[in-house]
Amino acid sequence: MTLPPWLAPSWRMLADAIGSGRIHHALLFASPRGYGKRALAEAFATALLCQQRNADGSACGRCRSCLLVAAGSHPDLARVTFEIRDDGRPRTELTVDQLRALGQRLALSSQFGGWQVALIDPADAMNPNAANALLKTLEEPSTNTVIVLVADDPSRLPPTIRSRCQKIDVPMPTREEALAWLRARGVDAAVAAATLDASMNNPGQAEAWLADGALAVREECATDLSALSASRARAAAVAERWAADRPDLRLWFAAALARDEARSLAEGRRGALGLTQRTEIPKLNAWFGRANQARGLLATPVRADLVLLDLLRGWPARPTS
Ligand SMILES: [Zn+2]
């Protein structure tokens, strides 16, 4: 097991709990996606089940339990995640039937005589009935069971569930740690720095973007916004293009670009998108907020091109001289 270095304090806390056997019956691993909480939760679950742990408390990787976990067939590890629907696509929520089945399973005793572990991921995708079913299980914990909830957005979990979980701290890495982590994965130093800038220092996000060419999309967004500033592009045309290809990602980048532009102007520099007036700063800050709201709207049935058009029409134009 190799966890990123910024998770070392979190791991030590978990390893101490495993070593002492005093483990809260429900743990919530919550952080923005990309900080390594899933690797941490997996390491914890595997170590709990391992029959001959390493000195640092981590799983050995060789015992019968570890091999069964790796094969996905450990009888005392229950994973609850998106089911595949009849049409072959994954569901977008965890259902009450899944959580009821989990409760019944955890009420039985462990097959190997040790811990029974449940991994619910993404726990923040439980629908209300599913969350109620889990709540019943949390209210009547069986001995030697540990329920691990993994959530990118814990605010979507009912407070009644959150209050019954021990929250595991998953810290954001420092800039140096995130850079070193990307460099160790073979990423060029300049590319690593630029991608971390774009991802607000989120190493997992940066790695995913490097894998799928997202930085080119960011460049396109910058070019488009710059053209809008100079009235060289029409908002309708840009909106149509953005709606057709990864609109959510484009809005994420556009919001970050607006924030960076405002920052440059506040520091008395010309912005990368061509804006020059300090009077644009409040407009850019407001636009940042609107871009994030628009991202939320993309998840609703509202037409993406109309959401984008409304937003892009409000992009500050450079005064013509
Ligand atoms: Zn093992």
* Tens-place pLDDT, residues 128-175: 999 999 999 999 888 899 999 999 999 999 999 999 999 998 999 999
Instruction: Tell me how far the alpha carbon of residue 96 lies from the centroid of ligand 1, in angstroms.
Output: 33
Average the pLDDT over 232-260 and give the result: 94
Instruction: Tell me how far the alpha carbon of residue 145 lies from the centroid of ligand 1, in angstroms.
Output: 18
Banded model confidence at residue 200, pLDDT cuts 50, 70, 90: confident
Bridge partner residues of 30 (DSSP): 151
Banded model confidence at residue 40, pLDDT cuts 50, 70, 90: very high
Instruction: Tell me how far the alpha carbon of residue 14 lies from the centroid of ligand 1, in angstroms.
Output: 16
Instruction: Tell me how far the alpha carbon of residue 81 lies from the centroid of ligand 1, in angstroms.
Output: 24
Instruction: Tell me how far the alpha carbon of residue 36 lies from the centroid of ligand 1, in angstroms.
Output: 21
Q: Which of 257, 247, 246, 242 is nearest to 198 (CA)?
A: 257
What pLDDT, on a 0 to 100 scale, did the predictor assign at position 295?
92
Q: Distance between CA atoms of 27 and 50, rounded to whole angstroms?
A: 19
Banded model confidence at residue 308, pLDDT cuts 50, 70, 90: very high
Q: Token pair for residue 301?
A: 């049935």
Instruction: Tell me how far the alpha carbon of residue 254 lies from the centroid of ligand 1, in angstroms.
Output: 46
- pTM for this one? 0.78
Instruction: Tell me how far the alpha carbon of residue 69 lies from the centroid of ligand 1, in angstroms.
Output: 9
Instruction: Tell me how far the alpha carbon of residue 87 lies from the centroid of ligand 1, in angstroms.
Output: 38
Instruction: Tell me how far the alpha carbon of residue 22 lies from the centroid of ligand 1, in angstroms.
Output: 20
Element of type H or E holding 16? helix 8-20
Q: Strand 77-80 vs strand 166-168: parallel, antiparallel, or unpaired? A: unpaired
Instruction: Tell me how far the alpha carbon of residue 139 lies from the centroid of ligand 1, in angstroms.
Output: 31
Instruction: Tell me how far the alpha carbon of residue 144 lies from the centroid of ligand 1, in angstroms.
Output: 18
Instruction: Tell me how far the alpha carbon of residue 65 lies from the centroid of ligand 1, in angstroms.
Output: 6
Q: Distance between CA atoms of 152 and 143, rounded to whole angstroms?
A: 28
Banded model confidence at residue 213, pLDDT cuts 50, 70, 90: confident
What pLDDT, on a 0 to 100 scale, did the predictor assign at position 198?
83
Residue 124 has pLDDT above 60, yes or no: yes
Instruction: Tell me how far the alpha carbon of residue 46 lies from the centroid of ligand 1, in angstroms.
Output: 8
Q: Which of 253, 247, 254 is nearest to 228 (CA)?
A: 254
Q: Which of 165, 157, 171, 195 is nearest to 36 (CA)?
A: 171
C-alpha distance from residue 4 to each of 38, 163, 172, 182, 272 (Å): 12, 28, 11, 10, 33
Average the pLDDT over 30-51 and give the result: 95
- 200: region left, alpha or beta (phi > 0 left; psi from -120 to 50 alpha): left
Instruction: Tell me how far the alpha carbon of residue 112 lies from the centroid of ligand 1, in angstroms.
Output: 13
Q: Which of 32-46, 87-101, 189-203 has the lowest mean pLDDT?
A: 189-203
Percent of the chain with pLDDT over 90: 78
C-alpha distance from residue 305 to each of 186, 242, 243, 246, 311 (Å): 38, 8, 5, 12, 10
CA angle (295 as vertex; 285, 162 as ends), nearest 5: 100
Q: What 3-state DSSP class applies to 13?
A: helix
Instruction: Tell me how far the alpha carbon of residue 201 lies from the centroid of ligand 1, in angstroms.
Output: 34
- Looking up tokens 């209300």 gives 128
Instruction: Tell me how far the alpha carbon of residue 61 lies from the centroid of ligand 1, in angstroms.
Output: 5
Instruction: Tell me how far the alpha carbon of residue 300 lies from the centroid of ligand 1, in angstroms.
Output: 45
Instruction: Tell me how far the alpha carbon of residue 267 lies from the centroid of ligand 1, in angstroms.
Output: 54
What pLDDT, on a 0 to 100 scale, did the predictor assign at position 105?
94
Q: By the 8 A CB rule, do 49 and 144 touch?
A: no
Instruction: Tell me how far the alpha carbon of residue 43 lies from the centroid of ligand 1, in angstroms.
Output: 11
- C-alpha 188, offset from chain centre: 24
Average the pLDDT over 64-90 and give the result: 94
